[in-house]
């Protein structure tokens, strides 16, 4: 797996007014496609923890800044029941083992079922996720690190970041395993 240049991904993320920093460890390729597909759809949660460890070793905590809490992007309860687990949770657990920062799954919830983003363009993705997340407590000036598997247009991370910032987070950073090369992004 070839690492990305670790640049600041905020400029590449749709609707980034709430996101302070965005990092993605690797460019999407066949190997990562197979790993993430197995993680999400073939009951391979163990891949998530291991991939999270690699993610933490690839993108050092120093590059992101002092983090108070790691929050995995939540799945809707129906998707979680179908899959049996949230793959972002296992990525977050692996990452937390490297960063020594707590993972919290109770703060942000997905409030409604949304269709899969895979076949949607960037505008459709933002509309699909608008109002899909809610917070159940104030974050009291904390720096939150959101974790997900793939960054395509940034609509999922951006929508999560929005509700976190609106509920008191001082900073919100995002980290994913992969992102497509610039020329493969959906518009």
Q: Give per-residue pLDDT as tens, 138-160.
A: 889 999 999 999 888 788 888 89
Give the pLDDT confidence score for residue 101 in this predicted structure.
96
Cα 176 from Cα 150, distance rounded (Å): 6
Give the pLDDT confidence score for residue 181 in this predicted structure.
67
128 C-beta neighbours (distance < 10 Å), count: 16
- Exposure of 7 by Cβ count < 10 A (0-12 exposed, 13-18 middle, 19+ buried)? exposed
Least confident piece of the model among 14-23, 55-64, 69-78, 116-125 = 116-125
Give the pLDDT confidence score for residue 83 in this predicted structure.
83
The pLDDT confidence band at residue 92, using thresholds 50, 70 and 90, is: very high
Q: Does 3 reside within a domain?
A: no
39 or 144, greater pLDDT = 144
Give the pLDDT confidence score for residue 117 in this predicted structure.
58
CATH code for the domain of 141: 3.40.50
Q: Does 1 reside within a domain?
A: no
- Give the domain extent around 59: 9-180
Cα 162 from Cα 81, distance rounded (Å): 26
Give the pLDDT confidence score for residue 33 in this predicted structure.
86
Q: Does 185 reside within a domain?
A: no
For the chain, how many structural domains are there in total?
1
Calculate the alpha carbon distances from 182 to 19, 47, 87, 151, 158 in Å.
19, 26, 25, 11, 18
3-state secondary structure of 176: strand
Q: Does 125 reside within a domain?
A: yes
- Can you give the pTM of this predicted structure? 0.83
Q: Does 80 reside within a domain?
A: yes
Beta carbons of 103 and 96 less than 8 angstroms apart: yes
| % pLDDT > 70, the chain | 78
Q: Does 162 reside within a domain?
A: yes
């Amino acid at each position: 797996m070839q690492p990305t240049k670790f640049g600041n991904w905020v400029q590449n993320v749709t609707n980034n007014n709430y996101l302070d920093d965005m990092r993605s460890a690797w460019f999407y390729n066949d190997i990562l496609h197979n790993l993430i597909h197995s993680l999400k759809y073939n009951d391979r949660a163990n891949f998530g923890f291991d991939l999270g460890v690699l993610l933490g070793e690839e993108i050092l905590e120093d590059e992101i800044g002092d983090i108070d809490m790691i929050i995995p992007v939540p799945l809707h309860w129906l998707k979680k029941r179908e899959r049996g687990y949230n793959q972002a949770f296992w990525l977050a657990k692996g990452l937390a083992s490297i960063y020594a920062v707590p993972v919290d799954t109770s703060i942000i919830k997905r409030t409604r079922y949304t269709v899969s983003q895979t076949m949607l363009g960037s505008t459709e993705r933002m509309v699909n996720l608008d109002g899909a997340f809610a917070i159940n407590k104030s974050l009291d000036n904390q720096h939150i690190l959101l974790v997900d598997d793939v960054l395509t247009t940034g609509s999922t991370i951006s929508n999560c970041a929005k509700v976190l910032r609106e509920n008191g987070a001082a900073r919100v950073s995002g980290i994913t395993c992969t992102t497509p090369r610039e020329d493969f992004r959906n518009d």
